[in-house]
Each structure stands twice: as structure tokens, then as C-alpha cells.
Amino acid sequence: MLKFFSSIDRAVASVLNVLVIITSTIVTGVIFFMVIARYILEWSFIGADEVALVSAIWLYMIGAIVASRRAEHLVVDFLPQFITSPMLLRLHQRLIALIMVATTGFFIYLVWNLFGFAIKRPQETAGLGIPEIIPLSAIALASIGGFSYAVRDLITGRACYNSTKEGEQ
Amino acid sequence: MGALGILLLIVLMAIGVPVAWSFAAVLAYLVYIYDISLTTLLLQGFRSLDHVILLALPLFVLAGYLMKSGGIARRLVDFIEMLVSGRRGGLGSSMVVASGIFGAISGTASGAVASIGTIMVGPLAERGYPRGYSSALLGISSLLGILIPPSVTMILFGVVTRQSITALFASTIGPALLLMAGLILFNRFCVGRLFSENHNSIKKDNVKFSRWSITKSALPALSLPILILGGIYGGICTPTEAAAVAVVAAIVIGFFIYKELNLKQLKKSVIAAGETTGTIMLILLFSFMIGRILTFERVPQEMTEWITTLVQNPLLILLMVNAFLILAGMIMDDLSVTVVIAPLLMPLVVSTGVDPIHYGAIVACSVVIGANSPPVAPILYMACRIGKVSIHEAVMPAIWMIIVVGMPVMLVTTFIPEVSLFIPRMLGAM
């Protein structure tokens, strides 16, 4: 059973990594192309910023799922560093995971409400007519991803922070 | 009731709930107590996130990762070390200056800690610098990345408070130069008094290279800050476009000039940058929604009215704000201070006649102090991990650096507006 879940996790990780690479390439490429187009080709690409923004929202949200999967969300790990008893530490990790399950559940509820509204009143971007539901789907995916990994942390008792990481500022 | 939300945020973060999910919990609390309609709340958060200027953030983060893996940071350190070698406190000073130049490209402090720290901590120890001291110096000097443009912190502050990013970038140059000079002088004072610098034990890896070859090798790396800042302030491109140019330039330099970047490292850097961006953006998404609720419920205005009934003297108010920002930075992460606490205090500060751009510089200085002040000192902890030293050994040097250098820089920035406003005005950014 554990082997099965591990192989699913690896497959999910590969898909997430590919998505991060694709979206990062689009964001960088499109913005860089806008500069080149303006100064060298003297050409204005209408809607380029819309493509970059839609890709960026996917990049942000997939990045957030990758961080949840690798337990690398920004954490103030001051308290856990001072807990020496293994039993207390396990208890602490379960408590944090439980809070995360509740908050990610709330995030899903928010997304559910948003989708109800977005489906009733569909909107598109002004230039290329990209449906707003496309970037919103990324937020939905992030809410489900966050919830899934919070449940994983609750069941396995895994720490929701990585003590060896080099945090970001 | 809104203030209880901030208290809840502090408690959740203090017990170790990831910052993003602490924000989500506070949002749930605010939605409950203020009975907010959920139909469009997330849509408003999404629309705030869907902003071109925010694209600069993932791009500068990616540029920072690429600089580390592409050998750019190493060339910068070699060059600066060459300039200051042989002088008292030269190696410590070169770490400060290298962090500053690195900050002028990457926009993050952690990028500087990881890149400059891994290169310099070993040589510093060999030369007799105590590991606790060098880790503390690394921690505080890497925060020049927050002050020297482009700065991710200033991008976030500009987006949440709707101020000009270009002006905000320029406003922190003055405080950054003061901090840099202060740290160099502090280091020069300590060397020879608190510990002796051992010049005989220097492993001169660069001895076989001439000064010219080191300079020539560093030129592409040194061209990056000119490319980014020149592009922005020369009116050639926006900060977002400059960030994309920085990424492409870092790839070209890493791949074709230094030949230290390969596809595997590129993939690793892109994924790591994506993950970092994701953690920041999720926090930002929730903070936008929290900010909207607090603004709608007039919490910042009520707080301003309440404080101004207690204290009327603008100087005292500014001192209180300084103290509050530092305290917040001591118990919260820098991102939370920038996107939640700082906007809350903004109406109060503006009511004393402070320009919002000037306030941005004050916030950046407080983040520098907060990120190095225990108990929550993410950058100091990270510097200690890289310096392979216990936090206890680095705390006292860090506190001294904050008291002797960081605090005075913050006070000067707060009470002499020209320190932060002179450069934006000179560049015509405000």
C-alpha cells in the first residue's frame, strides 16, 4: 500500500515539476519577448501580459503545492526546536497538521464559493479573451493540493516543516 | 476584534503553523466575526494577485537562484576580496560589500545568505573570525538584499499599499549605504580588539590569478546590477521587465560565459524558485483578503484614531511605530510584517506627515532588524546553519550589530526623511 502511494507521489511530483518549468519559461519568455519586441522589432504584442499573468497564477499555485508536498512552507520553527521530548514533538506535529487540515478545508470552501460565482458570471481577459476560470482553476488545484498534503501530514505524523531547509526571505 | 485577528496570527505562527495557513486561519476568523460574504472575497484576492508588477517577484527570485548555481556569486566575492585583501577586517568587509552587490541583482536576503555564506564562511574561519561572529555578520549583511533594489520586500510593500515600486526601490538605497558603511566600520573595530585576524593562514586560491584576470572574470557578474538598475531608472524597462532581463542574462552568463550552469542545475533552480514563489504568493493571496476585510471594517482608521488620542506628538508616534515594527519583526516573519502589519500602521504614520515612500524605507529597516532579532530570526538561523554554529554563539554578536549599526540606521532613516527621499527625488521617481 505504501509503495503504491509512493509511486503516486513520485508521479504527482514529476507533473508538478514539469508544470513549474513550463509556467516559469512562459512567464520569463513572454516578458523578455515584450522588451525585445518593443525595442528591437518595434512591435507591440497585445495580450502578452495576459498570457504571462495566467501562467504566473499557475506558477504561484503549483509552487505552493510543491512547497506543501515537500513541507517547505515558511514556518516560524522556534517552538519545535525547543521541544526535546519525542512524544511531545509527535503531539505537536499532529496538532499543527490538524490545524492545517482545518484551514485548507476552509480554503476549499472559499474556492467552492468562488467557482459558484465564476460559473454564473463568466469573465474573460480583455485582449485575448482568456476565460478567467483558467487561472481560477489553479487556485482550486492549490486548495485541493494543500488539503491533501495536510491530511497526509496528519495521518503519517510527518512534520509540516522541513528543519533542514534554507528558508526564503 | 480585528486586533484579536493579529493576536491569533502571532499565536498560530509562534506554535509552528506554516505562515500561509496561519493567514488562512485568521481569514476564517475574520470572515466569521465580521460576517463577510464569501461569494467574491477570493475573487478580490485573486484580482490583487493578478498584477503585472507582481511578476517581478518570481523572476527576481529565479535570478537569485541562477546566480548561485551559475557561478556569478563566486566571481563577485573573488573580485571584492581582491579589492579589500590585506586591509584590517578586509574579508569581513568583502562579505558585506558582496552581499550588497548580490542584493542588487537578486532582491532576496536568503539568496545572499546561501550564496555568499557558503563561499565565505570557510575562509573567514580560517582567518580567525569566530564562527558565531561571522554568521551574525553574514545574517545582517545579507539583509542588504532587502534594502538594495530590486527588493522583493519593497515589491510586496508597494503592491499592498499601492505605492510606486520604482520610488520604493530608490528610497532604500540611502539606508542601505548607511548600513553597509556601518557594518564595515563595526567589523573594522572588532577585528584586532575582539579577535585577531590571521593573515598567515589565508589560502590564496586566487594568487595564481592576476588582478586583471579576476576583474575580467567578474565583469559579466558586475554588469548585472548595472543592467537591472540602469534599465529601471534609465526608463528603458519596468521592474518586471528588468527582472526577466536579469533571468535571461543570468542564464546566458552561467551557461556560456562562466560555463558553470548546466541543464540539471537550471531545472533545479527553476523548481526551487517556483516553490519559493509559491510560498510567498499563497501568503500574499490570504493577506490581500485579510487586508480587504480590515480596510472595509475601518480597522486601520480606528487604530489611528485610538493612538492619536493617546499620543499627539509626531516624533513619539514615529518612535512608537518603530518600536512596534521591530517587536512585530521579532515575533513574526518579515513577510507578515510587510504585508499585514505595515499597511495597518500606514494611515497612522501618514497622519503624522510622513511620506508613504519614506514609510516604505522605515518598514524595510525594521524588517532588517526583525529578521535578525531572536526569537524569530529566520535569516540569522539560516546564517547559523550555513556557518555551522549554534544560534547561541551568534546571538550576542547579532544583537550588538543591531544595537550599534541597525538601530541607528533605522532612527536616522525615520527622523531624517532626506536619507530615503533624496535619491527617489533625484531620479525623478516621485
Average pLDDT, chain B: 87
User: How far from B182 is each of B37, B172, B175, B223, B313, CA to CA, in Å?
Assistant: 50, 15, 10, 26, 30
Residue-wise pLDDT for A16-53, tens only, equals: 999 999 999 999 999 999 989 888 887 777 888 999 99
Set of chain B residues whose Cβ sits within 8 Å of the Cβ of A57: 46, 49-50
Cross-chain CB nearest to B282 (options A64, A80, A102): A64
Q: What is the ipTM of this complex?
A: 0.91
Does the pLDDT of residue B422 top 70, yes or no? yes
Does the pLDDT of residue B420 top 90, yes or no? yes
Q: Which residues pair with B195 in a beta bridge?
A: B191
The backbone torsions φ and ψ at residue A131, rounded to the nearest 5 degrees and listed phi first, read -60, 135
Q: Which of residues 361-380 of B touch A (CB under 8 A)?
A: 371, 375-376, 378-379
Closest residue in chain B to residue A112, using alpha carbons only: B39
pLDDT value for A169: 39
Contact B55 A111 (CB under 8 A): no
Cross-chain CB nearest to A100 (options B18, B145, B271): B18
Contact B241 A21 (CB under 8 A): no
Q: Is A126 exposed, middle or buried (0-12, 13-18, 19+ CB in 10 A)?
A: exposed
Confidence of residue A168 (pLDDT cuts 50, 70, 90): very low
To the nearest whole Å, the CA of A132 is away from the closest chain B CA by: 10
Distance CA B64, CA B273 (A): 9
Set of chain A residues whose Cβ sits within 8 Å of the Cβ of B146: 169
Buried/exposed code over A16-37 (b: 16+ C-beta within 10 A; e: otherwise): bbebbbebbebbbbbbbbbbee
Q: Which residue has the higher pLDDT, B110 or B208?
A: B110
Set of chain A residues whose Cβ sits within 8 Å of the Cβ of B14: 76, 78-79
Looking up cell 530608490, which residue turns up? B170
Distance CA A66, CA A20 (A): 9
Cis bond leading into B375, ω under 30°? yes
Residue-wise pLDDT for B31-70, tens only, equals: 999 888 887 788 888 888 888 888 988 998 898 889 888 8
Set of chain A residues whose Cβ sits within 8 Å of the Cβ of B49: 57, 60
Contact B379 A166 (CB under 8 A): no
Average pLDDT over residues B256-276: 93
Is some CB atom of chain A closer than 8 A to the CB atom of B47? no
Nearest Cα neighbor of B114 from B335, B370, B380, B383 is B383
Q: Which of A15, A35, A54, A168 to mutate to test the interface with B (most CBs of B within 10 A)?
A: A168
Is some CB atom of chain A closer than 8 A to the CB atom of B147? no
CA B58 to chain centre: 15
pLDDT value for B252: 95
Asked if B133 and B256 touch (Cβ cutoff 8 Å), the reply is no
User: How far from A121 is each of A47, A113, B40, B240, CA to CA, in Å?
Assistant: 22, 13, 11, 31
A74: helix, coil or strand? coil
